Amino acid sequence: MHNVLDIKGLRIEATSYPPGEAPRNVVLVNNVSVAVQQGRVLGLIGESGAGKSTIGLSAMAYGRGGVRLTGGHILLNGREIREASAGDLRILRGREVTYVAQSAAAAFNPAKRLMEQVIEASLLHGVMGRAEAEARAVDLFDKLGLPDPANFGNRYPHQVSGGQLQRAMTAMALCPKPDLVIFDEPTTALDVTTQIDVLVAIKAAIRDTGVAALYITHDLAVVAQVADDILVLRGGKKVEYGPTDQIINHPQEDYTRALVSVRSIDHVEKTEAPAVLSVSGITARYRGTNFDVLKNVSVDLPAGQTLAIVGESGSGKSTLARVITGLLPAAKGDLTFAGRKLSPDLASRSKDDLREVQMIYQMADTAMNPRQTVGTIIGRPLEFYFGLKGEAKRQRIQELLDDIEMGAGFIDRFPAELSGGQKQRVCIARALAAKPKLIICDEVTSALDPLVADGILKLLLNLQARESVAYLFITHDLATVKAIADKIAVMYRGQVVRYGSKTDVLTPPFDDYTDLLLSSVPEMQIGWLEKVLAGRKMESAGN
């Protein structure tokens, strides 16, 4: 077994242009060495900014957007490629090394059929003729478990689901018989139940074709299923490098241990309390359509507690939030809030109704006006609802900043000057500023790195204990649910299929969908993937 890829002492730099300052050099990757043997999978893991994608792409001697590979060696099949000429690289890319991107939907050309795109690289590099390439593609479609493999290639990208498209891209990468495939977060954008299918397909395809692979992800539980070795990265430096078993079961470094044990919040559900929000018999559809996105949904949210709404994309969980906030008036059904009936339409709600229901969004980036300072963002609800001005307002902003564990220095900063976790904290402060009885949290931790998300969840729990605010927590991530929920409602295709206290919902016997959903959450355990597949009761929704 020889090393397909051998990276030694790699150093990658880029020039950063901070606004209003002189450009400066930043080191993205410092002295990283890894090797991948034929038929083996190396997992690269780390938070955003850890340099994992940058290292992955360097295996093609490629630097995204002005990134420079300034030192060390990149040996591909024993050849140094770090300073290879553009012509040599063109021959090697798409032939010896191929790449599977995170968002398949954005990576395919929507105007061309899948087959054309899957075999394009093979034809371009003259690896094989058209007939042979098409036969290989069909074979790969079959291996990857795609429906009707013989005709699958005739479809256009928009005619297949996200999970299928991701597998089609894997077929594209494997088609020219490469020596190394780079998987860059291939399942991150997918639902949990779809993620499993793609993981299984990728794992089988790697085994059957015997290629070497780099698997880049931020999810340690996922990488534990597919990788033989794992490299843990932080801030462009190696934290720990070793066989999967060692990293998962006997991590040496503190950082790795934190990653392995993340989401370990021990939350005991609260006892039953009177409902602050009652949703009864809600049916809703979007204007101009005749499809009910929500069908007869009824749930109760006890005051000062957390109701988690769980489901995959398209299950209607975000629509439920829009109905409760009044952005989408329901066709049928009632909302009762704090003992009074809530008008279905936003425009006819009183200022107090608006104040007492606040919302936190998934993407903190777009939830804050980039032209307003943190002080303005948090201060506006204070001014709007309570008429606070001047010193009183500033003092209250200060208190809120303390509440979200951020210091005084942040009041005059713009959102662009905050990290992802800080942004989400400011959004929480904005919601808290209104002194609400209910905060709707729409996937608030999904865009964050695991450790940062953990911090946000702990903050939310602390604030709930102190301010006794109720959360309607929308998420697709069951680990989060276990950490924070008092009650759970599982949604599937616009209906609540399972609803009750956390213990009841998470205790067998399960209905088929809940079973699928629960069993699909990757666990930090080697061999988990195979075990799950053996015990499955229904096909995932993506198929």
Partner 1 sequence: MSRIPVSALLGLVLTGGFFLVAIFAQWIAPYKMDELVGGVWDPMSAKHLLGTDSIGRDLLTRMIYGAQVTIFIATCATILSFVTGSVLGFLAATAGGWVDLALSRFVDLVMAIPSLILALVVLTAVDVSVFTLIVVMGLLDSTRVFRLSRAVAVDITVMDYVEAARLRGEGTSWVIFHEILPNALSPLVAELGLRFIFAVLFISTLSFLGLGVQPPLADWGGLVKENSAGLVYGIPAALAPAMAIAALAISVNLVADWVLSRTSSLKGGRGA
Contact positions vs partner 1 (CB under 8 A): 17-20, 325-327, 346, 349, 351, 354-355, 357-359, 361, 363, 366-372, 380-381, 384-385, 414, 416, 430, 434
Separation of alpha carbons 172 and 140, rounded Å: 9
In angstroms, give the least distance from the CB of 442 to partner 1. 9
In angstroms, give the least distance from the CB of 322 to partner 1. 9
Beta bridge partners of 13: 27, 68
10 Å CB burial of residue 371 (0-12, 13-18, 19+) is exposed
In angstroms, give the least distance from the CB of 326 to partner 1. 8
Which residues make Cβ contacts (< 8 Å) with residue 275, sequence separation at least 6?
300, 301, 302, 303, 336
Angle, helices 130-143 vs 192-209, to 10°: value is: 130
- Residue number with CB closer to partner 1 (327 or 533): 327
In angstroms, give the least distance from the CB of 327 to partner 1. 7
Dihedral over Cα of 270, 273, 278, 281: its sign: positive
- Residue number with CB closer to partner 1 (206 or 433): 433
In angstroms, give the least distance from the CB of 350 to partner 1. 9
Dihedral over Cα of 199, 200, 203, 205: its sign: negative
Q: How many CB atoms lie within 10 A of CB 301?
A: 27
- Residue number with CB closer to partner 1 (299 or 427): 427
In angstroms, give the least distance from the CB of 316 to partner 1. 18
Whether the CB-CB separation of 62 and 93 falls below 8 Å is answered with yes
Separation of alpha carbons 313 and 473, rounded Å: 15
- Residue number with CB closer to partner 1 (309 or 434): 434
- Residue number with CB closer to partner 1 (227 or 359): 359
What SS3 state is found at 484? Answer: helix
Q: What is the dihedral of CA 264, 268, 270, 276, to 10 degrees?
A: 10
- Residue number with CB closer to partner 1 (18 or 243): 18
Separation of alpha carbons 128 and 373, rounded Å: 58
Strand runs labelled E in 38-178: 41-45, 68-76, 79-80, 97-100
In angstroms, give the least distance from the CB of 416 to partner 1. 5
Within 13 A of 268's CA, how many CA atoms are on the CB side?
1
Within 13 A of 304's CA, how many CA atoms are on the CB side?
10
- Residue number with CB closer to partner 1 (213 or 440): 440
- Residue number with CB closer to partner 1 (216 or 426): 426
- Residue number with CB closer to partner 1 (227 or 439): 439
Phi, psi of 101 (to 5 degrees): -85, 165
Within 13 A of 463's CA, how many CA atoms are on the CB side?
28
Separation of alpha carbons 166 and 201, rounded Å: 10
- Residue number with CB closer to partner 1 (320 or 357): 357
Which residues make Cβ contacts (< 8 Å) with residue 229, sequence separation at least 6?
36, 40, 41, 42, 43, 241, 242, 243, 244
In angstroms, give the least distance from the CB of 368 to partner 1. 6
In angstroms, give the least distance from the CB of 354 to partner 1. 4
In angstroms, give the least distance from the CB of 325 to partner 1. 6
